[in-house]
A and B are shown apart, each in its own frame.
Chain A
Amino acid sequence: MKTRTRLICIANVAALLLAAAPPVRAEGDADRGEALYQGCQDCHSLDKNDVGPRHRGVFGRRAGSLPDYPYSEGLKQSGIVWDEASLDKWLSDPQALVPDAKMFYHLSQAQDRADVIAFLKERAR
């Protein structure tokens, strides 16, 4: 009985550790990200609001915080701060992360997402 309890405890601790561990993300290549960013320009640019908000300074910014862009309510209230992890989730499926998000564009490959994030982090400051 004691052994069984201990095993359950070990399993629970392991599960907690797994849940807490940061997901493994691909290393980003900003050069490739810059090329991929070409495709984002149907709706975005670095310095001007377009269909979507401008991206200069997006890394580290609170989601929905530009005063001159009409975000969805959900994004404004999300509390998200854009870092590697949140951008990776967003770019995987924006409307899964924030259900009323206007954006539906996504990148299905982790490497593509990592490259675009590296570009935004390093060159869109």
Chain B
Amino acid sequence: MAGNEKAMLDRRQALECMVWAGAGIIWTVAGGVPTSRLIGEAKAGETGFSFVQISDSHIGFSKPANPDARGTLKEAIDKILAIPNKPAFMIHTGDITHTAMPAQFDDAMQLIGGAGLEVHYAPGEHDILDAATNKAYLERFGKGATGGGWYSFDQAGVHFVSLVNVVDLKKNGLGYLGPDQLAWLDDDLRGKSNSTPIVVFSHIPLWMIAPEWGWGTADSAQALQLLARFGSVTVLNGHIHQLMQKVEGAVTFHTARSTAFPQPAPGTAPAPGPRLVPAGELGKFLGIAEVTYASTTSPLAIVDSALAQ
């Protein structure tokens, strides 16, 4: 029993270590099926196109969990630059900054710009703290967006939708889309055939991971209902600073790591928040974990290989 427990802890620790301080996720879309793998594991000879997701860079954060959020974001960008087949673009799923200050946005965008990719952003609740920062965010990122900053675009037959669920947060900090955005989504999807691959991204997860920690979106069920007729839907989120994935019918939900600091897995701490990793252990953690993703007949399936021997 004790041995099993240790093995489980080792595996969990390995997962936690793997997920927090690495770079990002590279997604490849071939035949309408998005597949993903950790950056650094990209293989040559891929077909289709790929894009990169990073999240929760928290520029401006400088506390024990990571005194150098700029440095780890830079590390993430360097890893993106090292990808052999240049991704088509990047998405950032929010908490670009820590306290939504203009200088933090400037700094983040300069660092992210180093990747030389077009970047599509979705805001986090650290990027929009109040009415003033909401206005500033829309002035900076809102070109081509509607309402509160939501927008869509197409790439090689795949329809991408960026949603905003960090304004008017609900109980325990649950995300909220609101009726205006849901009406827009309904309209945006109306002309699309059921076979159009859809990728939806927003900051707070669109599935209920841990409602007691606010890790979910109060009205996401209405959005998912609008997406239900599509054969391939991939939902990409951040916010929880760890990898989690769920496949439900034709919908694959995926949360990304942070480039700044880890958070505890639900149920392993009294509350969410930055998690301190012992000094000096980061490099070891980065080096030891590996996840392999493989597509199957499902829209997206992930198989994790042995993580801790």
How big is chain A's contact interface, by range?
10 to 19
Contact (Cβ within 8 A) B130 A104 = no
CB-CB under 8 A from A104, the residues of chain B are 169, 171-173, 214
Q: Quick check: which of A5-13, A38-46, A75-83 contacts chain B, the rest being far away?
A: A38-46
How big is chain B's contact interface, by range?
20 to 34
Contact (Cβ within 8 A) A106 B271 = yes
In chain B, what residue has the closest Cβ to A35? B276
Contact (Cβ within 8 A) B273 A39 = yes
A61-104 at interface with B (beta carbon < 8 Å): 70, 95, 104
In chain A, what residue has the closest Cβ to B125? A51
Contact flags B269-286 to A (C-beta < 8 A → 1, else 0): 111111110000000000
CB-CB under 8 A from A36, the residues of chain B are 270-271
Our pick among B129, B212, B272, B276 for the contact of A42 (Cβ within 8 Å) is B272
CB-CB under 8 A from A108, the residues of chain B are 212, 270
Question: Interface residues of B: mostly helix, strand, loop or mixed?
Answer: loop
Q: How far is the CB of B305 from chain A (nearest CB, A)?
A: 31
Given A70-B130, A104-B173, A104-B214, A39 contacting B63 (CB threshold 8 A): no
CB-CB under 8 A from B81, the residues of chain A are none
CB-CB under 8 A from B13, the residues of chain A are none
Q: How far is the CB of A31 from chain B (nearest CB, A)?
A: 14
Tell me the bound Cα distance from A107 to B276 in angstroms. Answer: 18
Q: Residues of B with Cβ closer than 8 Å to A?
A: 63-65, 98-99, 126, 129-130, 169, 171-173, 212, 214, 264, 269-276
